[in-house]
Amino acid sequence: MIIFLDGKFVEEKEANVSVFDHGFLYGDGIFEGIRAYNGRVFKLKEHIDRLYESAQAILLDIGVSRKEMMDIVLETVRKNNLSDAYIRLVVSRGAGDLGLDPRKCPKPSIVCIAGSIKMYPQSMYENGMEIITAATRRNSADALSPRIKSLNYLNNIMAKMEANRAGVMEALLLNQEGYVCEATGDNVFIVKDGVLITPTIYAGILKGVTRDTVLDLARNFGIPCREDLFNLIDVYTADECFLTGTAAELIPITAVDSRIIGDGKPGPVFRKLLAAFQEYARSNGEPL
């Protein structure tokens, strides 16, 4: 595996960062997960825009232009001779001292990895999966906004551990007011009476690139859509439920906290949107 690290491409065994990097010491940094399909990097501009918005929010001067960052991503995929890939782009505060002060980190560190990822078995896309609601609440947006895709994912990991202990692969997180936010690594949608509903960004969510793509596709189909607040009762009584994410794409949820969703099978809205998303993603993007 060939990895981009701070201005050069190196082999995996040589891709080392300093133990004084504040991304390692304190989670001080940002990242993006990006997909390539059929020789095209999907929604690359949108991912890079979100990366720079996260950087702006934490006062991190990345030091390269958005166009240069896009070229880094494309060249990393090319160097690994990949047509389909999962790409992890990371920008940390860089090496500093053992204190918290980001001013002690004179230069950020940029890492780009292109490989593969498999979130869920194929059977779950066909039959659906069961999830739970985590007792762990989503970080308050007043403390650390979930719209910043930061390297500090401990909140998500704590909820993921709850899912592991329950014997399922995902968990829903609620915000401090009890409204549904998202899963540990994906956005959430429900369908009720033909209306597609997803939490508003003001519920405290990461504004997902796949989420926005699904909303656009749904509107193109004439499916009524709404970004709104909703709670667990709305999930339990929904006709359909599914998750969206860069790695997962769209994955159907057929039970939440032992409550069967709809008829316990992936629903027609999910199936229509999954087919449309896969066709769209595999034919659009920045060419390699």
* Confidence band for 12, pLDDT divided at 50, 70 and 90: very high
Domain boundary among 100, 115, 130: 115
Length of the chain: 288
pLDDT digits (tens, 9 = 90+) for 201-243: 999 999 999 999 999 999 999 999 999 999 999 999 999 999 9
Instruction: Give yes or no: residues 203 and 163 share one domain.
Output: yes
Domain boundary among 115, 140, 167: 115
Instruction: Give yes or no: residues 269 and 179 share one domain.
Output: yes
Domain boundary among 84, 115, 146: 115
Q: Evaluate whether residue 288 is within a structural domain.
A: no
Instruction: Give yes or no: residues 101 and 127 share one domain.
Output: no
Distance between CA 77 and CA 3 in Å, rounded?
Answer: 9
Give the pLDDT confidence score for residue 208 in this predicted structure.
97
CA dihedral 82, 85, 91, 95 (to 10 degrees): -60
Sheet containing strand 29-37, edge to edge, reads: 8-11, 2-5, 109-115, 85-92, 29-37, 40-41, 286-287
Q: Which residues pair with 29 in a beta bridge?
A: 92
Distance between CA 107 and CA 96 in Å, rounded?
Answer: 9
Structural domain containing residue 19? 2-115
pLDDT digits (tens, 9 = 90+) for 120-162: 999 999 999 999 999 999 999 889 999 999 999 999 999 999 9
Distance between CA 249 and CA 106 in Å, rounded?
Answer: 37
How many independent structural domains does the chain possess?
2
Instruction: Give yes or no: residues 46 and 102 share one domain.
Output: yes
pLDDT score of 99 more than 90: yes
Instruction: Give yes or no: residues 211 and 157 share one domain.
Output: yes
**Which position has the token pair 């990991």?**
157
Q: Evaluate whether residue 178 is within a structural domain.
A: yes
Give the pLDDT confidence score for residue 117 in this predicted structure.
83
Give the pLDDT confidence score for residue 118 in this predicted structure.
82
Instruction: Give yes or no: residues 109 and 128 share one domain.
Output: no
**CATH number of the domain within which 76 lies:** 3.30.470.10
Give the pairing of strands 187-192 and 195-199: antiparallel
Instruction: Give yes or no: residues 93 and 19 share one domain.
Output: yes
pLDDT score of 48 more than 90: yes
Instruction: Give yes or no: residues 40 and 169 share one domain.
Output: no
pLDDT digits (tens, 9 = 90+) for 188-198: 999 999 999 99
DSSP calls for 255-280: EETTEEPTTSS--HHHHHHHHHHHHH
Q: Evaluate whether residue 18 is within a structural domain.
A: yes
pLDDT score of 44 more than 90: yes
Instruction: Give yes or no: residues 132 and 179 share one domain.
Output: yes
Q: Is 42 helix (H, G, I), strand (E, B) or coil?
A: coil
Instruction: Give yes or no: residues 29 and 108 share one domain.
Output: yes
pLDDT score of 119 more than 90: no
